[in-house]
Chains A and B, each alone.
Chain A
Amino acid sequence: MRIPALACSLLLIAAAAVSAQPPMVVKSEADRVASIAKVKPAVVAVFARGGQGGGTGVLINKEGYALTNFHVVQPTGPTMQCGLADGVLYDGVVVGIDKVGDVALIKLLPKKVGDKVVFPNKEGEFPFAEMGNSDLVREGDWSIAMGNPFLVATDFTPTVTFGLVSGVHRYQPPAGIFLEYTDCIQIDTSINPGNSGGPLFNLKGEIIGINGRGSFDKRGRINSGVGYAISINQIKNFMGHLQAGIDTDHASLGALVRSEVEKVGIGRAKVTVVLEDSDVARRGLIEDDVVMSFAGRQITSDNHYKNIVGIFPRGWRLPLEYKRGDTQKEILVRLMGIQRKEINDGAAPPPDNKQPPKGKGGPQGEGAKFYEPKPGYANFYFNRQEKQRVFTAFKKISDLSKNTGDWNIEGTVRQLNAVANSPSLFEIKEKGATTTTTVKLGPFVDKLDEPVDNTKEARMVPRGSGGLAAAIYLWRTMLTAGEKGFTECVHGGMEPLYPPPGVGIGDKKWMDQRVDADVLNTVKGVYHTKWFFARSDQKLLGMEVRVGDLSDEPCEVYFSDYKEVNGRQLPHRIQVFHKDVHYGTFTITKHDLK
């Protein structure tokens, strides 16, 4: 008899508490409800065509791009169906995939009735959620997960679950080499089968992660109080690649690191193995060096190290600080891929056996019109789109398509260890099928006749530059002929570039010099060139030319000090580096482009 009485009194207390909540409580609840209402329309229920299987996604812009898990689109194939909370089922198509990171970018297509776009509105603009900054998330913060657990909602209305962030910067090892969760967010917010690919929001309704897996052990594949979301900041690193339709790869530094603990003390990340053909080996890292930081983040254990290396795409250059004895040094390292053994960052990814996702019966529906298969790509259609975007914007800044005559670019050059500037000249002449590029540095003259000079040595002039004459020749090709000047030209996603400040390398930290760039990879004869266009205004900021071997150190050319010449933006400073050495800084005084 005692307990029912207690139960009643508890009920009364509860009722009293509900009605007498302080205004702050009422407000915080209202805020949460408002946040959920705001982002709900952006949550996508992803199904394979025909309604089989499925997961969740979240729209990130009005064009209809949405994030989900790779393991959600793997069974759906390149085209899928996507339900929004408005109750409408849209056609979708895969754009880019990240198998290791378990991420896929898909695009929803506006729904037409007859010829007219009707859904989601007559402009075809989708509702979307903003991406937040997952580096600001801490354990103990609140989080909201939305999605379609157990595929309960047949009208596509997402289920909302609410919980705590249990940990951040977590590492969950891969199954094989795929689905490695590095630097992920651990949550007690309930996620279940069907939540995969769905958004994890902070209380402001910003996307902080994509829910993807849990720790299950012996309790079956349902919520165990331990779920993991891929951090949105990791996905942002891959976004340029995903948008360009690439089947992306994660990276390895080319060195193994082990947590080493002094008998009693703080862990250190000590280098145990350095791969001979890795970039990090060429930059001078050796066994027993202690890695202090990578990409601006401190490293004290191998989990830290794996976390930080794991959030970047292959091919990116990132600064690494290490300690040898008492000296600390910072180097800029090119990351190797982990899915493919060879370092091949010059051009299109080599063909690989792992094809983009294939559904039963191939692409279908409206999405099939936006799908183009190509080895190494999730969907090459979007690579063409991205490439077009770069060229269109670039042409607006400097259209030199008519200037196919002789080029004379005069100026002065300051070389390594030189006390004074010397006069310089780049001269390019086309005669029949031969193009002659002349580089004059003070009294020294080097010539490259394309395609007559066919030894590697002849192509690498001037000595010590790694192929500056070839770079100038290719630069003119890019400016005058664009895509048509090359046998192959693909968009390579987004990469950071570290333009050197002023003359020489300077003493600024690499991270402070970082600029995000659209990358184009071109092939012309033996030349593999990587081009960097500023994401902000599509100015050409730099290029890396490799003559022949892709594992060779490239000739790095940086263009800056853009000024208008005859209505076109042209660089007035050209800086050249090879093997981390400053070869020369050119100050251009006259562009004579016939």
Chain B
Amino acid sequence: MIRKNFFRLSACVLLVGLTAMAGRAQESMTKTAVNVNKKMVKLFGIGGFKGLPSYGTGILVSEKGHILTVNNHILINPGILVHVYDGRRYQARVIAREPALDAAILEIDEEVVALPHYDFDQETARPTAENGDWILAMSNQFKIGVGDEPMSVQRGVIAAAADLRGRRGVFDAPYAGDVYFLDVIACNPGAAGGALVNRKGHLLGLLGRELKDTRIDTWINYAVPVQATAEVSREGKIEKVSLADFVKLGIQKKYKEGDKAIRVDKGGFHGITLVVKAVSSVPPYVEEVMLGSPADKAGLRPDDLILYVEGFSVPTITSFLDVMKQYGPGSDVDLQYQRGNKLEKVRLKLTDPPKVPAAN
């Protein structure tokens, strides 16, 4: 639904956005930028490999130096270097993580007081931002600043508030849920954990990672709303956690991270075995269909050639498998395939994988 109507929606968004911008065109954003900058920190940790930056951005959420940021690779090692807005430098360490929210809380190792910060409860109590709202994105992208040099500030519009399909093969993000998609190129290296604010400097969200849609080779720019929630599994039970709870409990060192098991491959079971992938460009010909599987029920047969999944072309086995990973158990998936000279269409209802005995 969302994808289908996205373009119509974004056209309106654009119009509203332009109107909003014109009204504020002559007004400098300096004051807001300077105020928000004081509540932000530059982070330096692990990186420098595989094109991953060793730096990032964070937001102060307590006067004692608790920092909310993205739970990414720069936090792998416990010691993180923090530069506060006025140039002071501290060591900090991670005291809470929640991969499902893609968030982490750091604590400055020393006694500090009276740091400018966001009262996270107050920020989350505000309503969420709307499509077309005018925003500023602030971060230390590209590590342009060190010490007391201020964050970069960019302006843009919330193009859409929509579901981030944080699944492998599309957007490789741990967080899957509602995000703000931005029309400004804000998610550059090191921007993750930066602040998305409105014109008044109210915190709307946390800037996301560098994500590329592998299907269309396009980078996206998004922020996780401060009101974000996610489902985590704790001792087999699914619980809902909010970013606000995470921040509150995280600061108190009482937050319990969800079990890791929930974040494995989400792809549902279809029951299709494809031909052997001898070279990378082998098309997805059906080799076998498991009896009683969703594919069997839908009538797929060996030698069928799968052409489209949910309208996306799948010219190779790899692309078919990648796309299928997005659809979990219970999803309905439209497949188009070629049988002989005819183009056919079926709908599969994916299920949980059957309980198979241990490897034979």
Q: Produce 1/0 per residue, B222-236, CB < 8 A to A.
A: 000000000000000
CA distance A418 to B145 in the complex (A): 53
| Given A21-B22, A140-B31, A164-B155, A264-B149 contact (CB < 8 Å) | no
Partner of B8, one of A3, A25, A266: A3
- The answer to whether B31 and A29 have CB atoms under 8 Å apart is no
Chain B residue nearest to A12 in the complex (CB): B12
Does residue A243 face the partner (Cβ distance < 8 Å to B)?
no
CA distance A186 to B139 in the complex (A): 13
- The answer to whether A266 and B88 have CB atoms under 8 Å apart is yes
- The answer to whether A138 and B30 have CB atoms under 8 Å apart is yes
Residues of A within 8 A of B26 (CB): 28, 31-32, 142, 203
Does residue A433 face the partner (Cβ distance < 8 Å to B)?
no
Residues of B within 8 A of A301 (CB): 87, 146-149
Residues of A within 8 A of B155 (CB): 163-164, 188
- The answer to whether B152 and A140 have CB atoms under 8 Å apart is no
- The answer to whether A217 and B12 have CB atoms under 8 Å apart is no
Does residue A17 face the partner (Cβ distance < 8 Å to B)?
yes
Distance (Å) between the CB of A187 and the closest chain B CB?
Answer: 9
Does residue B23 face the partner (Cβ distance < 8 Å to A)?
yes
Chain B residue nearest to A26 in the complex (CB): B22
Distance (Å) between the CB of A258 and the closest chain B CB?
Answer: 12
Distance (Å) between the CB of A101 and the closest chain B CB?
Answer: 19
| Given A14-B12, A142-B28, A25-B184 contact (CB < 8 Å) | no
Chain B residue nearest to A187 in the complex (CB): B154
Report the number of A-B residue pairs with Cβ-Cβ less than 8 Å.
Answer: 157
| Interface range, A side | 35 or more
CA distance A463 to B25 in the complex (A): 66
| Interface range, B side | 35 or more
Does residue B95 face the partner (Cβ distance < 8 Å to A)?
no
Which of chain B's residues 2-47 have a Cβ closer than 8 Å to chain A? 5, 8-9, 11-13, 15-16, 19-20, 22-23, 25-26, 28-34
Does residue A402 face the partner (Cβ distance < 8 Å to B)?
no
Distance (Å) between the CB of B51 and the closest chain A CB?
Answer: 6
| Given A169-B149, A259-B147, A264-B89, A215-B142 contact (CB < 8 Å) | yes
- The answer to whether A266 and B87 have CB atoms under 8 Å apart is yes
Residues of B within 8 A of A141 (CB): 28-30
Chain A residue nearest to B145 in the complex (CB): A167
Partner of B153, one of A10, A139, A259, A267: A139
- The answer to whether A139 and B12 have CB atoms under 8 Å apart is no
- The answer to whether A219 and B141 have CB atoms under 8 Å apart is no
| Given A139-B153, A300-B148, A3-B9 contact (CB < 8 Å) | yes
Chain A residue nearest to B221 in the complex (CB): A225
Does residue A354 face the partner (Cβ distance < 8 Å to B)?
no
Residues of A within 8 A of B29 (CB): 139-141, 164
Does residue A273 face the partner (Cβ distance < 8 Å to B)?
no
Partner of B150, one of A11, A17, A139, A225: A139
Taking Cβ atoms with an 8 Å cutoff, the residues of B that contact A are: 1, 5, 8-9, 11-13, 15-16, 19-20, 22-23, 25-26, 28-34, 51, 86-90, 110, 132, 136, 141-142, 144-155, 184-186, 188-189, 210, 219
